[in-house]
A and B are shown apart, each in its own frame.
Chain A
């Protein structure tokens, strides 16, 4: 045994370089796939965006200048990021209390709640999107109730509105908020809540001073996932939002597959990538600041 260990140590010392390479070989399949199917297309995208004409013959930044010089496109960028922030806000407002209910519930109820929360992930995107059309439509469930109760003189306009879209996305994206939140919150030591109460704190103080600061990592994880997912939710955006609400994914689709202006589509795609990444960076920066502020 001793000899074997000594031999192993010698081997490691002598061929450290090769060993390092051997370990990295395990990551090679993923690395190759990532390079071939993600990095390379991204590079192509960047190259295509640097052509002036739709036939991709003249190098130049005309499309970037056109895109960034047009207030219409700025509004599309703004609307897309706003949609993401609204969805994040709504999922936090609905999801955080739900997480508190979940943590306080008995195990049997916890299983039922978790199933309801995860349900959107288990249904086909087409089914859940059309289900929302049934709910939000002129003759839909909500309007049926509103008209029956006489709450409004005419059916409410919910489909093809930002409100309706945020409502649907809130349900669709809820698992992405709740799963990281629950995994962090269920690890909070229950004695901390007891200690807080014994020290004389009301439930609100315990919530804001103990539970909330300690759930910030989960909350941030949820916010990032929901933001990234809702700003790029092409099907929900186009089916529930319709043609009147233009977001970057729809714009990219129009430019690439309807107008065949690939350089402009590339510019829009890169803009989406950069602006969403920038927002995510900002959210996590703010999250860390909040966490530190609440701590201090």
Chain B
């Protein structure tokens, strides 16, 4: 994984070139009778950014606090570089953490904030100063070193929080919703910045977020969490293209869920008759059996419109055309009145509202099929 480029970058910064692996083994955490984290096992490769992604209350922040040592898990182990850190208190775990609200010490200047962890490690005043300067240089904030946190902007505060966390040369960098307080424009800049620094220092990082776009753009692998469990742990594109569960499918990106029935089964694929009036042949998991009620997940960008009818196309009427910069989203009405969304590159020849057309899957589309809970 260590490319020459990254090695050079991190050597230039005078830091270690390797990260540490982080392994979670069967982590359980209970608050009272409630299982906030329910048997979570994850292996995070050295130098990788893993995102813990899920809605609020899914246990992702609790998991982060377990790794940081702020709460002790009810069961399971946390291993850094193969060694258990469960018996170490938070102040000896050597993790760097950036909080959602940055948690800068409001009574200390930017430089004092960055120096705090160094002082806590017993590094003398004289030795601290050049280190503080170096890490403020890394986040390009040297000019603001004597300001108080309240005198600098949100983005600058976050860079201070990053410099403070990096200055102690942590074995793992934990990021707790670090972008959510930033403006949208600044958010992308900071995502790139964090990724750059993480590469430069060869750090293993864990990002907690509820924003799927953020997880997709920053993380090397995403653990999608729901109700304390990890539903899927995979690369961003795999999580998007091959969601393991209906929850992952609906949480990541937007999708149209089309109900139907399996009317034929052969090898790895099934013939599915959609209630809306089309028959599709799609590859499915072994658990999808003949006669089963299923739902087919169709991403908006996996659909296309045709002028002519075909057995695998749904008859639709164009309800609304919403141009969104480079793409356009079309709201289509199916025969039964239900709506589906389709997104396409915006061209001058968009269909007119009210036009009767036929909607099918693109040739390269890979719709996911999930059993429909019958209750």
Interface residues, chain A, with chain B CB atoms under 8 Å away = 189, 191-192, 194-202, 205, 209-210, 213-214, 291, 294-296
| Binary per-residue interface labels of chain B (90-105) against chain A in the complex, 1 for a CB within 8 Å, 0 otherwise | 1111111101010101
A144 to chain B, nearest CB (A): 44
Q: Does B263 belong to the interface (CB within 8 Å)? A: no
Does the CB pair A197–B108 fall under 8 Å? no
**From residue B30, how far is it (CB to closest CB) to chain A in Å?**
17
Assess whether B68 is interfacial by the CB under 8 Å rule. Answer: yes
- Residues of chain A within 8 A (CB-CB) of B99 are 191, 194-195
B107 contacts the other chain (Cβ, under 8 Å)? Answer: yes
Pairs A–B under 8 Å by Cβ, sample size 28: A189-B103, A191-B99, A191-B101, A194-B97, A194-B103, A195-B97, A195-B105, A195-B164, A196-B116, A197-B69, A197-B70, A197-B89, A197-B91, A198-B91, A198-B96, A198-B97, A198-B165, A199-B116, A199-B120, A200-B94, A200-B117, A200-B120, A201-B91, A201-B120, A209-B116, A214-B107, A295-B107, A295-B108
B68 to chain A, nearest CB (A): 6
- Closest B-chain residue to A195, C-beta based? B103
B22 lies within 8 A of chain A by Cβ: no
Q: Say yes or no: A191 contacts B117, CB within 8 Å.
A: no
Would you give the shortest CB distance from B20 to chain A, in whole angstroms?
Answer: 16
Write out the residue numbers on chain A whose beta carbons fall within 8 Å of the beta carbon of B174: 198
- Chain B, residue nearest A291 (CB): B107
**A201 to B123 Cα, complex, angstroms:** 12
B150 at the interface (CB under 8 A from A): no
| Chain B proximity of A280: nearest CB distance (Å) | 23
User: How far apart sit A291 and B107, CA to CA, in the bound complex (Å)?
Assistant: 9
Asked if B14 lies at the interface with its beta carbon under 8 angstroms from chain A, I say no
7 further A-B pairs in the complex, CB-CB below 8 A; given A189-B103, A198-B90:
A192-B105, A198-B95, A198-B165, A200-B121, A201-B91, A202-B91, A205-B119
Task: Give me the interface of B with A, judged by CB distance under 8 Å.
Answer: 68-70, 89-97, 99, 101, 103, 105-108, 112, 116-117, 119-121, 164-165, 168, 174
User: Which of A192, A197, A201, A294 is packed against the most chain B CB atoms within 10 Å?
Assistant: A197
Alpha-carbon separation in the docked complex, A200 to B165 (Å): 11
Query: A-B pairs with the 10 shortest C-beta distances?
Result: A199-B117, A191-B103, A201-B120, A197-B90, A200-B120, A195-B103, A295-B107, A198-B97, A197-B91, A191-B99
A210 surroundings in chain B (CB, below 8 A): 105
What residues of chain B lie closer than 8 Å to A291, measured between beta carbons?
Answer: 107
Q: In whole angstroms, how far apart are the Cα atoms of A291 and B106 in the complex?
A: 12
Q: A199–B119 Cα gap in the complex (Å)?
A: 9
> A214, B106: Cβ atoms under 8 Å?
yes
Q: Taking A195-B97, A196-B116 as contacts, is the C-beta distance between A213 and B107 under 8 angstroms?
A: yes
> Complex Cα distance A196/B119, Å?
11
A270 to B174, CA, bound (A): 61
Cβ distance B96 to chain A, nearest Cβ, rounded Å: 7
**Which residues in B have their C-beta under 8 angstroms from that of A191?**
99, 101, 103
Q: Whole-angstrom distance between the alpha carbons of A213 and B108 in the complex? A: 10
- Find out whether the CB atom of A194 lies under 8 angstroms from the CB atom of B116: no
Chain A residues near B120 (CB, 8 Å)? 196, 199-202, 205
- A202–B90 Cα distance when bound, in Å, is 9
CB-CB under 8 A from B106, the residues of chain A are 214
- Chain B min CB distance to A56 (Å): 54
CA distance A276 to B92 in the complex (A): 48
A194 touches B90 (CB 8 A): yes
A193 to B366, CA, bound (A): 48
Cβ–Cβ < 8 Å partners of B164 in chain A: 195, 199
Nearest residue in B to A190 (C-beta to C-beta)? B103
Write the nearest CB–CB distance from A192 to chain B, whole angstroms.
Answer: 5
Instruction: Name the one of B68, B119, B165 contacting A194, with C-beta atoms under 8 angstroms.
Output: B68
User: In whole angstroms, how far apart are the Cα atoms of A194 and B93 in the complex?
Assistant: 12
Q: Which residues of B contact A199 (CB under 8 A)?
A: 91, 116-117, 120, 164-165, 168
Instruction: Find chain A residues with CB under 8 A from B70 CB.
Output: 194, 197-198
